[in-house]
A and B are shown apart, each in its own frame.
Chain A
Amino acid sequence: NAGVTQTPKFQVLKTGQSMTLQCAQDMNHEYMSWYRQDPGMGLRLIHYSVGAGITDQGEVPNGYNVSRSTTEDFPLRLLSAAPSQTSVYFCASSPQGAGELFFGEGSRLTVL
């Protein structure tokens, strides 16, 4: 059972480039979310989804897009990367919104 899988683990981008962080879970969880972690800031919610076809914004959604076409996958897209998006990104899932949340191993993104 793989749990929550994120790819890539490391990525370096130039300002203005686009990329997609992939997230997949094999636990048939309805709820999925993306967080970013910056030094001294804890984890902040970017976007979340309560099921296939449903997404919503979290605390810091600007500059990011998401979609949820299947229960298993929840990709995070950066359309035009900025240095302020340099961070560690975590994907998480739970059986439902109130259930125990499980995290992937994180993706470290650097924007030059």
Chain B
Amino acid sequence: GIQVEQSPPDLILQEGANSTLRCNFSDSVNNLQWFHQNPWGQLINLFYIPSGTKQNGRLSATTVATERYSLLYISSSQTTDSGVYFCAARGGSQGNLIFGKGTKLSVKP
């Protein structure tokens, strides 16, 4: 099945800094999602982005399906952005959503 790798595994930022999180996947996908798991454990949908670019406030995401990667951009980071960011991908008609191991982001005041 499809494999999903995220980098970096850990990231520490000062409040106000920008960051880029990367997700590589091993096969063509028909679903790619980014989630934020907050400190309370909730999984928050950020983007559903099997291809193209989307923006939502300070966050944006780009998926280049032909090159098998997706990027999540966080601009002007805030302490509330802290948590774990997961990328998940699904390939094929019978595949399921497979998760990467996440990027743990800590934003310091």
B41 x A42 contact (CB < 8 A)? no
Q: A33-B96, A58-B96 known; A102 and B45 CB under 8 Å?
A: yes
Contact B42 A41 (CB under 8 A): no
For the A-B complex, the count of residue pairs with Cβ-Cβ distances under 8 Å equals 51
A99 near B: Cβ within 8 Å? Answer: yes
Contact in complex: A100, B101 (CB < 8 Å): no
Name which residue of chain A comes closest to B43, CB basis.
A103
- Residue contact A43 to B86, C-beta cutoff 8 Å: yes
> Which 6 pairs show the lowest CB-CB distances between chains A and B?
A100-B48, A103-B43, A42-B101, A43-B99, A42-B99, A98-B30
| A48 interface neighbour in B42, B43, B88, B96, Cβ under 8 Å | B96
Min CB distance B59 to A, Å, is 16
For the A-B complex with A97-B93, A99-B31 known, give 12 more contacts whose Cβ atoms are closer than 8 Å.
A33-B96, A41-B101, A42-B100, A44-B99, A45-B98, A48-B96, A58-B96, A98-B93, A102-B45, A103-B35, A105-B41, A105-B42
Identify 30 residue pairs between A and B in the complex whose beta-carbon atoms are under 8 Å apart, listed by A's number.
Answer: A33-B97, A41-B101, A42-B101, A42-B102, A43-B86, A44-B99, A45-B98, A48-B96, A58-B96, A88-B41, A90-B43, A92-B97, A97-B90, A97-B93, A97-B94, A97-B95, A97-B96, A100-B31, A100-B33, A100-B45, A100-B48, A101-B31, A101-B45, A101-B88, A101-B97, A103-B35, A103-B45, A105-B42, A106-B41, A106-B42
